[in-house]
Structure 1
């Protein structure tokens, strides 16, 4: 049976590798199910404090595997989104642990927007991001119409979505769409080192930051100030905060991971 997703459990974090390289890691139902389950397992695993998502081979993800479609059929693509892509994006955004994405090659369609759903995105300098939907008369999905204009502005987002032109990783980094574009031969090392560093930080603390940023999209300033107050109150009562202060006073690295009081 095809192993569509490779799960590597490292010291404090999980590496999830999309593994359909002959199809540029495009999604079929099996890959959807495997990735959704692996993210759930990572959420529940006490020894997993961060996740790295990447792809096998020369591409990150080419979006939907159109080979799954029957010629001449009129599929219910809304149902496809509701069953597969939307739950996947929601799980990544709500996951109470940092998710790093290493885009190792082309990221097209839903594959590009899946990457943007992650918390920190690094890409090989040779990688390209393509909002390819307009080429087949579709609407950008998987959160693309939400995330892309917030990251790079409506003018650039609209141009990319209308034209379906590939965006080089270096330009994506310059525009603030991703965190960094790195040399191809250093992508894996840089992404793994970053994930390991995040795994050594306070998982609870990072989860609160993620919660605050996610809420800020729809909040007024007053609502966001109230949320910051509430999250900070909770953070100040946590074991991780107490350990962080002790470590600072004792001039040593903190050892996070204790349960909150």
Structure 2
């Protein structure tokens, strides 16, 4: 298992420790993260949760090797059990959640960061939703969050292009709460977590709930819509071509279906 979890002084730390794959999450890792978040949510010893990576990585997304042999039904079940459940658990947790991002946060990795309450990024951080490059749709709340942060047109531009967003641009766009030098990331996050852990946890949780309600339709409803759309994309010719091109490090030749 490459997910580590510990609690000390009111601060729970969940660490994605798979540097050889730049923090890519397989199905078991996603389920483990869900279970840790759900445990932290009901643990009175936890006042704040910090999610971080190791060795200059946050999370480079879902492990693409997991999709072989799936049906649409099994794909939907996997999403509901893993990534979508994780996004919802973080979003609905009535305690502050901090993402500490150094290095790549791609696809699922960026979606995880975006559902956190504070996103602290190092200057080495870089972000992208690259699903369009392999003929998939963004999931785990990515579209929901980006529209609310950026507006519809800029969200479409970013998702259609699949382009990389650097740390400075993410901060300027309002997609990060703090931007720090790489060597200051750990200390900055530790100080923020200590401050939140010393705060009025229940009041902060209720403030979080009110702010989320102010956004409009619930994330839970939106995630259910994703489960009806996203799995179908894994059975297209363009997905086969996109994943082949990714493995072969070439430009995909999409057919449009």
Q: Indicate whether the TM-score tops 0.5.
A: yes
Residue in structure 2 matching 1:166, options 164, 167, 171: 164
How far is 1:132 from its partner? Answer: 0.6
Q: 1:52 touches 1:99 (CA, 8 Å); kept in 2?
A: yes
How far is 1:58 from its partner? Answer: 2.5
Q: Which aligned pairs between 1:57-76 and structure 2 lie closer than 5 A?
A: 57-70=55-68, 73=69, 75-76=71-72
Q: 2:27 touches 2:66 (CA, 8 Å); kept in 1?
A: no
1:210 and 2:208 equivalent?
Answer: yes
2:177 alignment partner in structure 1: 179
2:239 alignment partner in structure 1: none
Residue in structure 2 matching 1:22, options 20, 38, 56: 20
1:236 alignment partner in structure 2: none
Aligned-partner Cα distance in 2 for 1:202–1:129: 32
Aligned-partner Cα distance in 2 for 1:93–1:84: 14
1:150 and 2:151 equivalent?
Answer: no
Q: 1:4 touches 1:34 (CA, 8 Å); kept in 2?
A: no
Secondary structure, in 3 states, of the residue corresponding to 2:199?
Answer: coil
Aligned-partner Cα distance in 2 for 1:184–1:78: 38
How far is 1:200 from its partner? Answer: 0.2
How far is 1:173 from its partner? Answer: 0.7
1:45 alignment partner in structure 2: 43
2:136 alignment partner in structure 1: 138
Secondary structure, in 3 states, of the residue corresponding to 2:82?
Answer: helix
Q: Check 1:75–1:133 CA distance in 2 against 1; reply closer, same or farther (3 A cut).
A: farther
Aligned-partner Cα distance in 1 for 2:128–2:25: 16
TM-score (norm: length of structure 1): 0.79
Aligned-partner Cα distance in 2 for 1:149–1:69: 28
**RMSD, matched Cα:** 1.4
- What are the ranges of 5 or more consecutive residues in structure 2 without an aligned counterpart? 218-257
How far is 1:68 from its partner? Answer: 2.7
Aligned-partner Cα distance in 2 for 1:97–1:62: 26
1:83 alignment partner in structure 2: 81
2:105 alignment partner in structure 1: 107
How far is 1:57 from its partner? Answer: 2.0
How far is 1:61 from its partner? Answer: 0.7
Aligned-partner Cα distance in 1 for 2:80–2:39: 21
Secondary structure, in 3 states, of the residue corresponding to 2:156?
Answer: helix
- What are the ranges of 5 or more consecutive residues in structure 1 without an aligned counterpart? 220-261
Aligned-partner Cα distance in 2 for 1:63–1:79: 19
How far is 1:198 from its partner? Answer: 0.2
**Pair member with larger Rg:** 1
TM-score (norm: length of structure 2): 0.80
Higher normalized contact order (CA 8 Å, seq sep 6+, divided by chain length): 2
